Structure 1
Amino acid sequence: MNMNQIIQQLKKSRRVLLATHIHPDGDAIGSLLALGLALEEGLKKKVQLYNESVLPAVYHFLPSIHRIKNEPGDINAYDTAVILDCSDLQRVGKAAEAISRIPTVINVDHHATNTRFGNYQFIDPRASATTEILHRLLREMEMPITCAMAYAIYTGIMADTGSFRFSNTTPEAFKICHEMVCQGADPHKVAHHVYETTSLKRIKLLNMLYDTIEVSENGRLSIMTLTQNMLHATGTSITDVNGLINYARRIENVKVAALLYERAGSRQMQRQRSSVFHVSLRSDGSVDVANLAAVFGGGGHRSAAGFDVHSSLLDLKNELYSMAGHL
């Protein structure tokens, strides 16, 4: 990584596309907003903020959230793309192949499993969040941090550290968040929207998910299953699922929790019929789930990772249960 090369590329760019992973979390959204506002307001660049997915309602309070569009615009118009919080370019979704043709691609991330794609990389697995890396970049550029940018950075770090509860919480994370509060980010406002506001539909979905929880014989693996039928029955979407896997992780003696999500467009699940699943993994910290996800072609962090797989529900569960004996 050469931070100076990245800074020089951003300064000489004219039109920049910023993109992050599908089904974005607080760090992904905060990264888009923080860097997007900095490039537009500080460097006067023409910027498009892009994410394929519907944004979770809990983050709608963030200033300038309306700037994030679900279409990338004219790919041929950009001279630079910055891909944020993605371990692999494919994580941005259907526009990945088109984005790869943009002349300069900059990869900013904190996942240890990052594939090092792009012309320039700024990757630090020791960072608590991608927003922490961006704070470092903006400080190096001597870019003033506005109140709106402070909200984005604070929210990103808070979300990826689980409100400062996860093992990736570092002194630097607290230091940056203190600075963001001094710049105008209100911790109570952020916590209220992200953690204390929910919908009746989401509560009904949680009740249905509770009924699917299974635990391995040794008690170290818990599994939750989410089907498209459950989303339809409750009138919810995948954005409403964010954080619900933690209920399965908190079960006594459980070391790893898995949420098996049936992707939209898959055939309706039956006992011996295959579907496409996204499997989210969460660890209590004692197991590196990034290594488990890598077995299936996925990746992530030590305590949070995931992968996609084409399988029947029964076969997928059996494969996960066979791994439980090694936890």
Structure 2
Amino acid sequence: MNATVEQLAPVEQQATSGWVVAALYQFKEVQDSADLQQRLLDLVNSINLCGTLIVADEGINGTVAGDRAAIDAVHQFLLNEGFNAMEYKESTSSEKPFRKMKIKLKKEIVTLGVEVKPRDLVGHYLDPKEWNELIARDDVILIDTRNDYEYKAGTFKGAIDPQTETFREFPEYVKKNLEQHKDKKIAMFCTGGIRCEKSTSLLLQEGFEEVYHLKGGILKYLEETPAEESMWEGECFVFDGRTAVTHGVEEGQNIKCHACGWPLLPTEVEEPSYEHGVSCKYCVDKTTDKQKDGFRMRQSQIAAAKRKRL
């Protein structure tokens, strides 16, 4: 499997008020990932689901949204396929969080670009209470394994930002910045836990001695941890129409710039550099006038499509 194969399924407008959003993953050997992709496509063609599922020989990963019946259907399908140890979390969205339903066939369910064995070699899992106790210590190096724009929306107090644009850059960050700390306690976290499955496996493979990660990721932490006991600051970026969520996995206030993808606070949306779908303070100087004209055309087409659906 050398290339990404993506298939789309049609999605009807949600009939009920609100959407159930399910984030899931599991590292599990898949004998015929192309066949699983096709059978998933057959399933979602018959139910009202949107989002993305990634299938690879190493397992499954993704976030989907739909009504209660659709979410239950895809969840039960995966359980029947032997994905009975999934990291699985649900939340809600007031509006449709994805435009389409995609089933992607890839080499990795989360792309690190370095061969690791997360099913065999992985760090110490910590629940939210254990996590709070660990990261409060002075002898722990706390690392946010997510991308720079995710860090911008919110992170744990005292967390290091590797300033990566993609997860593929993380192995290089480890080589340049962590090699001298192999005897230290390293704590890492990500949105749902999947990136830390691979990052902790990578560090252990490289000879690090004590590696920890937050089980279920930030989403599980925000779901279970009362705000008054939380060590989380800001909001958690999510890869859907909600942009970010906060404690209780409630929709946050951040708004995504649809030109560059960065999360924006309401105050940043009020700045002169912001034009919906065209620019914000983080990208206004990085695109040409011709590109901005193209973004404006795209936004007008999106607006016209929305009016047509109403």
> TM-score, normalised to structure 2's length?
0.33
Higher helix share: 1
> TM-score, normalised to structure 1's length?
0.32
Q: Pick 1 or 2: higher relative contact order, CA cutoff 8 A, min separation 6.
A: 2
Higher strand share: 2
